[in-house]
Chain A
Amino acid sequence: MKKINVLMLGWEFPPVVNGGLGIACLGLAKALSAIVNLSIIVPQASTEYLIEQMELIGLNQIDLQKLKTDLAAREVSVQTNFSDESIESISFIPVDFYPYENVSSEQQAVINKSIKRTVTENYIPKPSVTAEDLATFSGDLYGDDIWTKIQQYANVASKVASTKQFDLIHAHDWMTFAAGLQIKHESGKPLVLHIHSLETDRAGIGSRGGVFQLEQHAMNHADLIIPVSNYTASVIQHHYGINASKVAPVHNGVEKVETFKTEKPFPEKLVLFLGRLTGQKGPSYFLEIAHKVLQNYPNVRFVVAGTGDKLKGLIETSAYKQIGSRIHFTGFLDREKVYELLSMADVYCMPSVSEPFGISALEAAQFGVPCVISNQSGVAEVLPSALTADFWDISLMARNIFSLLKDEKLTNEVVTNTLKDLDNISWEHAAEQIVTLYQSRLGL
């Protein structure tokens, strides 16, 4: 069978890693590149992460002269410089906004204004990519001017895309969705959105801001949506109102880690929390859980590894609860230190309030650490042997941890079964599922 040509759009990609997104993109890209022809465009790339069989295009390293020559060579195909207004106008356009369908006259006025501006400023035949545009991709990928970065990414990536042959566009998370929409419009190729995280996860389930609108807008116009769990698929249907028929979850895989064990330099048990200290990850629930566990089982230490805007409040709260000598905040840790912690942990706890997947639980599982996971975490779907509770159910969470700390037989059972669960989880498996979806849903 003919290999499918996939144009992938990524934002984080190692070495640029903020959360799980970059790691997931790398894992998936590696596995996919074995069975499809893969080109991936990211804002920043490093030659250290070049993968065989895969074309990795970092916009920070692009050869501007060559791009201009390539674009000039195929001037016929470039009719207009389409720019998806969703980003520019999103903050004041209602969520059902789309410039190419029936819209109210009021909306149309805004759209015309923004299109006019786009066209006058960026109008080609001459490609409008300048060295200055590319400089956007040299620093921090997030920050106050992320909307500008997204626009620049859409602008430059679509130019690059117009020089490529591909059968579909596969975009990872909202930062690349504008680019995805633009390339879909220009090329007529189907758009696949891969959902690793939603605004409703990051900013709370009731969130309906600009990012939410961009996500919803893109999902409405996508041909296929691949969330990383059934949990996220359900959020997409119920909170974003997207038709279930084009949503098909595929669970993440995990890189095999060289695991090891370290003897703890203290006699107490160790319960671990890993992750950014933001509301989404539920660190304040972890504190409550720790407090509860300590009341029944004092010989345990809790480590909170990670940093975030909740850090100061968490420190003060743990002092207020008088558990500060049992809760250790490490700040941000590199992989080596994270693995060291995993190698000595007795329990891994992930009380996330809304977690599309949660790859770190799979890493803990590989280290033979039994996991206690919230029901609001996608990873629980692939680790049926892990103990679970709702994130808000402090008592059950604490009971689960307490049981694992006390009951060696239970712990062994959970660890053995979790390792078996892992046998079914791999990026290769995820890649195969995705290609099957390309074929069955997009007719490729």
Chain B
Amino acid sequence: MASVCLYFQVHQPFRLKEYSFFHIGRDYAYDNDTVNLQILNRVADKCYIPANNLLLNLIAKHKGAFKIAFSLSGVLLEQLQKARPDVINSFKALVDTGCVEILAETYYHTLAFHYSSEEFDRQVKLHADIVKATLGVKPTVFRNTELVYNNYLGTHIKNLGYKAILSEGTERVLGDRSANHVYKATSGLPLLLRNYKLTDDVAFRFQDKNWSEYPLTATKYCNWLQTEFSKGAETINLFMDFETFGEHQWADSGIFGFIEALPTELLAQNIQFLTPSETVKAYKAKDEVIVNDSISWADLERDLSAWRNNSMQYESLEKLYAFEQQVVAKNNPDLFHTWAKLQTSDHFYYMSTKHAGDGAVHSYFSPYKSPYDAYLYYMNILSDFEIRLNR
């Protein structure tokens, strides 16, 4: 048997204001509402709505044989609830087909697992709640922020009762083993690892005219998948940002046409689509994967260095999580929510000072002029937050 597991990540952070020293003690609205709404509307109109319509048609057309999975961050769902309920409805319509699986994650799209398992559990629970409230389902498979994973998370997630977890198929933990099988964590929890090469062909290289394979067609791509299956692949896990469609790769690149043609091609060649929970049921775990140092799907390093590498990132993360006891003691839902929103991993991603290719990706996503600005605004906000906590 040969199958493809498609999962799309859907996330937009609450970006923060350009918060100067003169705001401290005077302005406790940290979010840049104008920019957030502007980006939300743009992404909704360019990606979420048209892509969801296309996927809905494809599911109908292939009568249940085309299946996908989504993970939607809580902070995105919260923004959509307020400003774009139509987008929530379109995701709900997809879920209602029975061909779409929704995954679990942290509500605030954070690195909380690395700092506090209590806070992590709280966010996982909050996420389950908002998914239930908006989409009416209870996720059973977990994906951590940016596919960050290690043995301890594998154990923790198993203890929370989840059936499987997703992460990155990096050689650093696989060695010469292929990512195209189901693996298991040291805790025994089934592990699905991303085939980053075949994913990035779509997510990063699709519209790159300097790429030797440009233009990529569904037929060509299907042949590449077939090559993997002929070498013994069982499942090819293609995990990517949903914003790939229409936002990172523009509509005029032909990305929508590509995704439209893909299921027809694959199904014609007897390649199945399975959701993550179906995939781990369909195949026996091939081997155990040991991950002592965290891995992720970010940057060339595929570790935590996208968010925790330079002194600014280390300090801001540590200062933020140092407030936990105080925040818990205050027991004020507003403060709790504000503190947790400050945990969103994007804030630390913007502070990255990496150069070359990765640096370009970081600045593509960043709303600020420089990583130093991102850090200064963030620390000013933390200062104000501290003042509010001590009041």
Interface residues of A (CB under 8 A from B): 264-267, 301, 303, 311-312, 315-317, 319-320, 322, 324-326, 328-330, 337, 340
Measured CA separation A311–B312 after assembly (Å): 14
Give the distance to chain A from B35, nearest Cβ to Cβ, in Å: 20
Of all chain B residues, which has the CB nearest A328?
Answer: B21
Task: For the complex formed, measure the closest distance between the CB of A55 and the CB atoms of chain B, giving whole angstroms.
Answer: 41
Closest A residue to B384 by beta carbon equals: A266
Report the minimal beta-carbon distance from A6 to chain B, rounded to whole angstroms. 42
The verdict on B318 contacting chain A, using a C-beta distance below 8 Å, is yes
Residues of chain A within 8 A (CB-CB) of B376 are 315, 328-329
Closest to A337 in B: B22
- A396 to nearest B CB, angstroms? 27
Residues of B within 8 A of A326 (CB): 383
Which chain A residues border B24 with CB–CB below 8 Å?
265-266, 328
Q: Which of these, A320, A325, A337, A340, contacts B386 with CB under 8 Å?
A: A325
Q: Contacts A329-B21, A330-B20, A337-B22 given; 10 further ones with Cβ under 8 A?
A: A265-B26, A303-B21, A316-B310, A319-B310, A320-B315, A324-B315, A324-B319, A325-B379, A326-B383, A328-B376
Residues of chain A within 8 A (CB-CB) of B311 are 316-317, 319-320
- Is B25's beta carbon under 8 Å from chain A? yes
Cβ contact within 8 Å between A340 and B22? yes
Q: How far does the Cβ of B53 sit from chain A's closest Cβ, in whole Å?
A: 45
CB contacts under 8 Å to A, within B269-324, are 310-312, 314-316, 318-319
User: Are B372 and A315 interface neighbours, CB within 8 A?
Assistant: yes
B313 nearest CB across to chain A (Å): 8
B372 touches A322 (CB 8 A): no
Question: Measuring CB to CB, which residues of chain B are less than 8 angstroms from any residue of chain A?
Answer: 20-22, 24-26, 310-312, 314-316, 318-319, 372, 375-376, 379-380, 382-383, 386-387, 390
Please, which residues of chain A bring their CB within 8 A of the CB of B315?
A: 319-320, 322, 324-325
- Say whether, besides A267-B387, A301-B383, A324-B319, A319 and B21 are in contact (CB < 8 Å): no
Q: How many angstroms from the CA of A328 to the CA of B372 in the assembled complex? A: 12
Q: Which residues of B contact A303 (CB under 8 A)?
A: 21
| A contacts with B: majority SS | mixed
User: Can you identify 14 A-B contacts, CB atoms within 8 angstroms?
Assistant: A265-B26, A266-B25, A266-B383, A311-B372, A316-B311, A316-B312, A319-B310, A319-B314, A320-B315, A324-B315, A324-B316, A325-B383, A328-B21, A337-B22
In the complex, A317 Cα to B311 Cα: how many Å?
A: 8
Q: What's the Cα separation between A303 and B380 when bound, in Å?
A: 11
A265 and B312 contacting across the interface, CB-CB below 8 Å? no
A323 and chain B: residue at smallest CB distance: B315
Closest to A326 in B: B383
Q: How far is the CB of B362 from chain A (nearest CB, A)?
A: 16
Q: Which residue of A lies closest to B391 (CB)?
A: A267
- A376 and B115 alpha carbons, distance in the complex (Å): 46
A184→B149 CA distance, assembly (Å): 76
Q: Shortest CB–CB separation between residue B124 and chain A, in angstroms?
A: 28
Taken together as a complex, chains A and B put the C-alpha atoms of A266 and B24 apart, in Å, by: 7
Q: With the chains together, A329 CA to B311 CA distance in Å?
A: 16
A325 in complex: contacting residue of B25, B314, B319, B372, CB < 8 Å = B319
Q: Report the minimum CB–CB distance from B349 to chain A (whole Å).
A: 16
Closest to B313 in A: A319
| Nearest 3 CB-CB pairings of A with B | A265-B25, A320-B311, A319-B311
Complex Cα distance, B387 from A264, in Å, reads 12
Q: Find chain B residues with CB under 8 A from A319 CB.
A: 310-312, 314-316, 375
Give the residues in chain A near B375, CB-CB below 8 Å.
Answer: 315, 319, 324
User: From residue B368, how far is it (CB to closest CB) to chain A in Å?
Assistant: 13
Residues of A within 8 A of B380 (CB): 328
* C-alpha spacing A283/B115, complex, angstroms: 33
Q: How far is the CB of A275 from chain B (nearest CB, A)?
A: 16
A265–B314 Cα distance when bound, in Å, is: 28
Most B Cβ at <10 Å: residue of A315, A324, A328: A324
Smallest CB separation, A437 vs chain B (Å): 43
CA distance in complex: A264, B21 (Å): 12
Q: What are the residues of chain A within 8 A of B22 when measuring CB–CB?
A: 330, 337, 340
